[in-house]
Structure 1
């Protein structure tokens, strides 16, 4: 298991894999358990082995603005807080009972001190940047929904449509209209 996790980020020796196995921790997380509180500094990365996790901000109406949705084999962390070591503006919470691998910054520094191969873990950070760029693009609601259906179809199987709509930065009503028109095969402008 650990070798596949590491090899998704680069090339590692068998000794690197054994070192990784010795220092990482697997953690059980219950549904609704908060992994990162707003105002707390993010000090670790987590890889979801099983379950689902989401990242959100509370808005003025005391609702959740979904920042990101995470499924198995995806890394979870607050990019801005982790890199800047400043208080998080978002929460990270388990949507379902989950199993995660937790990798603290101290552990990452220890690993890179033992083997420069672990610098390849930076690819995990690059993945977060590409997700952030998704919302920098001027996409219609249809294009946004089609994009997640193409790149991350499991999201619509795991998370409620209200959360999907918030993640796409559209209203639930707009998402319903998009889905209805897609189901009828209509051209959506």
Structure 2
């Protein structure tokens, strides 16, 4: 059987055994439930967090805020991606509390992946957020090899590992991690 499937930003053709099980949401299996209004649901969640104060009550005009977002490997370039929906709402919440754009830093959490290019970051964040923060120098890639911007928090015995983190995240008054649960063919969920 010949099959074309989504791969990267295009399609890949494959020839598979006729006994291959093919699952196509909406065709061979029922579509999972979805949010009819992603932005409204995201805003509701941000404005009413579970077990903590609203973001606007945690920051003020003097606060340094860092928003950490996944790199291009996690996909999500469409207009209703989790980054493009949640980050503007988070920034709006900070602005309402008096936090200036100069005090908001966006860090691409690329881990040990290569750094994302300027255009890749633009495609992840969207033009409005990118244009608002790029020229301020407030969008950057995490650099796991820049020891001047890493903090060693010590040794974790259970996992036999050092705990090291980004210094700007460590020093922030509020660090907000934007992410999602996504099936990963190489490692379960990421």
Structure having the higher Rg: 2
Larger relative CO (CA 8 A, sep 6+): 1 or 2? 1
Query: Smaller-chain TM-score range?
Result: under 0.3
TM-score, structure 1 as length reference: 0.27
Q: Normalized per residue, which structure has more helix? A: 1
TM-score, structure 2 as length reference: 0.27
